[in-house]
Amino acid sequence: MQEHMNYTLLCDFYELTMGNGYFQTEGYADQICYFDVFFRTVPDGGGFAIAAGLEQVIDYIEQLHFTEEDIAYLRSKGCFCEEFLDYLRRFRFTGDIWAVPEGTPIFPREPILTVRAPAIEAQFIETFLLLTLNHQSLIATKTNRIVRAAEGRPVSEFGSRRAQGPDAAVLGARASYIAGCAGTACTLADEMYGSPAGGTMAHSWVQMFPDEYTAFKTYCQLYPHSATLLVDTYNVLKSGVPNAIRAFKEVLLPQGITNCAIRLDSGDLTYLSRKARKMLDAAGLTECKIVASNSLDEYIIRDLLLQGAKIDSFGVGERLITSKSEPVFGGVYKLAAVEDKAGNIIPKIKISANPGKITNPHFKKVFRLFDNETGKAFADLITLHDETVDQTQPLELFDPDATWKRSVFTNFTAKELLVPIFLGGKLVYQSPPIAEMRAWCAGQIDLLWDEVKRFENPHNYYVDLSQRLWDIKQELLRREGN
């Protein structure tokens, strides 16, 4: 796991060959440059994504170092000069990083992390930054859709066994908690990151005993305050629910415990939950909760609730932990500017035949604009690094592609999204406890309009450019695009 691993060589090999190249090319080794991390489309056609993974980026940056074994390995590749290998012995990150806090809703094309550092350092960290932010933001974004579909009912993350490897399980559980899961079945995610671990029982527990009732009774005796009995091993309505009722009545009720649950893991979850609810209520177990699982996702959960299922909470595994419907979060790392010897910032652009892939040049800031009357966010504004937004003056925003579409806003508050994380190689940010990230995430999503939160065809939230930034972009397009 991350804490015990040296991930320095978890980079694409070209980061090293470029680094060696910059090192040997006069004037490039110390070239200060700016890179932005941003993404282009929200997975699943959603209206926004959730940023996650920053704490692991911080750990990585702090741990960055090449061991003598790493140097020997790189020497064996035969393509790095000795001076560069010697430089790698002393390699540390000395630059600046700004990023959006974890749990923040984010939108396409805006920087969610910016690096300012000497070229070799800034280039070297690309792979790990992207893989970490892409993975956790993907799982956080998917989880949040699932959690919103559950309309306030707790969702537990059950996916470790189907995750694509240990990091995907543990860090996925971490991201899912930030994005709104109530907890996880992953014990290590609790120990390492504080995402609360808990769970029910497997079919094997029920199969292990001579009969279903004995399995339930034994479990209730062992865990009277957290008994969730899995009722679908044999026959839900004919044996599972009746045996659960019997065990609850014989073991829990005499102790005054009414807090209990059953889990449904197959069949028609609406039909079975409605029938089970009636049986539990008729037995006086009105406080007994019904948990549902079995290849759930946001669409099935929404359907179940529309059908009138009597489900109190959900366990969601494979489709959450793998983000099965859309398993790629396309965050990219693009050069936005370099500094000349005098420290002037020279903006850089990447041009593409696809206008959506043209980058926003320069060292930038992102402001989120909130309407003072409703408190809701209505647009994000990307500006140059030295611009401020004057909240006392009307602000004209325009569509960066269809520039004739303009609106003037008054009575708003502008909040900067990116906060300093490293300055001069020194960590200046303390990640909040994970429960605070989770509360921050929920609070920030509350500030988005419902139209932006639709699962299908959401309202397109505006991410606009300041006039100065737009002018610089157009100038670069004219200069470089011909």
Ligand X SMILES: O=C(O)c1cccnc1
Ligand Y SMILES: O=P(O)(O)OC[C@H]1O[C@H](OP(=O)(O)OP(=O)(O)O)[C@H](O)[C@@H]1O
In the complex, minimum distance from the CB of residue 270 to ligand X, in angstroms, rounded to a whole number: 20
Choices 107-115, 189-197, 300-308, 383-391 (CB under 6 A): range interacting with ligand ATP: 300-308
3-state SS class at 402: coil
139: left (phi over 0), alpha (psi -120 to 50) or beta: alpha
CB proximity list for 190: less than 8 A, separation 6 or greater = 183, 184, 196, 197
Q: Select from 8, 270, 359, 360 the one that contacts ligand ATP (CB under 6 A).
A: 270
User: Taking a C-beta distance cutoff of 8 angstroms, is the pair 378, 397 a contact?
Assistant: no
Report what 191 binds from ligand ATP, ligand Y, ligand X, none; CB cut-off 5-8 Å by kind: none
Does position 313 interact with ligand X (CB under 6 A)? The reply is no
Q: Is 317 in the site for ligand X (CB under 6 A)?
A: yes
From residue 265, alpha-carbon distances to 216, 270, 311 in Å are 16, 12, 12
CB of 391 to ligand Y, least distance (A): 46
Nearer to ligand Y, 265 or 380 (CB): 265
Examine residue 154 and tell whether it contacts ligand X (CB under 6 A): no
Residue of closest CB approach to ligand Y: 317
Using CB under 6 A as the binding rule, whether residue 161 contacts ligand Y is answered as yes
Question: Using CB under 6 A, which of the segments 15-23, 171-179, 269-277, 289-297 binds ligand Y?
Answer: 289-297
What 8-state DSSP symbol labels residue 264?
E
| Candidate list 141, 200, 270, 273; residue touching ligand X; CB under 6 A | 200
C-beta of 202: minimal distance to ligand Y in Å?
A: 6
CB of 158 to ligand X, least distance (A): 4
Q: How far is the CB of 297 from ligand ATP (least distance, A)?
A: 8
Question: Binding to ligand ATP by residue 251, rule CB under 6 A?
Answer: no
User: DSSP H helical segments within 372-412, as ranges?
Assistant: none
Beta bridge pairs of residue 332? 38
Give the one entry of ligand Y, ligand X, ligand ATP, none that residue 189 binds, where binding means its C-beta sits below a cut-off of 5 to 8 angstroms depending on kind. none
Nearest-approach distance from CB 173 to ligand Y, in angstroms: 13
Q: How far is the CB of 325 from ligand ATP (least distance, A)?
A: 13
Q: How far is the CB of 231 from ligand X (least distance, A)?
A: 12
Q: Which is nearer to ligand Y, 159 or 347 (CB)?
A: 159
The 266-305 contact track toward ligand X, x by CB under 6 A, reads ----------------------------------------
What is the residue-wise DSSP string for 149-217?
A: HTTTS-EEE--GGGSSSHHHHHHHHHHHHHTT-SEES-HHHHHHH---B-----HHHHHHSSSHHHHHH
The answer to whether residue 266 forms part of the interface with ligand ATP (CB under 6 A) is: yes
200 binds, among ligand X, ligand ATP, ligand Y, none (CB under 5 to 8 A by kind): ligand X
172 binds ligand X (CB under 6 A): no
Q: Which stretch binds ligand Y (CB under 6 A): 38-46, 168-176, 279-287, 292-300?
A: 292-300
CA–centroid distance for 102 within its chain: 8
CB of 288 to ligand Y, least distance (A): 19
Alpha-carbon gap, residue 220 to 154, rounded angstroms:
22
Residue 256: strand, helix, or coil: coil
Q: Which amino acid would we find at residue 178?
A: I
3-state secondary structure string across 114-147: EEEEEHHHHHHCHHHHHHHHHHHHHHHHHHHHHH
Q: Find out whether 50 and 109 touch, Cβ atoms under 8 Å.
A: no
- Round to whole Å and give the CA distance between 429 and 435: 17
The pair of three-digit structure tokens given for residue 439, joined into one six-digit string:
């509360």
Nearest to 310 by CA among 145, 158, 153, 144: 153
Residues in the interface with ligand X (CB under 6 A) total 6
Residue numbers 298-337 binding ligand Y by CB under 6 A: 315-319
35: left (phi over 0), alpha (psi -120 to 50) or beta: beta
CA atoms of 90 and 47, how far apart (whole Å): 44
Comparing CB distances to ligand X, the nearer of 311 and 472 is 311
Using CB under 6 A, count the residues that bind ligand ATP.
12
| Of 132-140, 146-154, 288-296, 463-471: span binding ligand Y (CB under 6 A) | 288-296
Check binding of 296 to ligand ATP (CB under 6 A). yes
Closest Cα to residue 88, out of 118, 57, 66, 59?
66
**Residues in contact with ligand Y by the rule CB under 6 A:** 158-159, 161-162, 202, 265, 293-296, 315-319
Q: Which residues contact ligand ATP by CB under 6 A? A: 266-270, 294-296, 300, 303-304, 307
Binding site for ligand X (CB under 6 A): 158, 185, 199-200, 315, 317
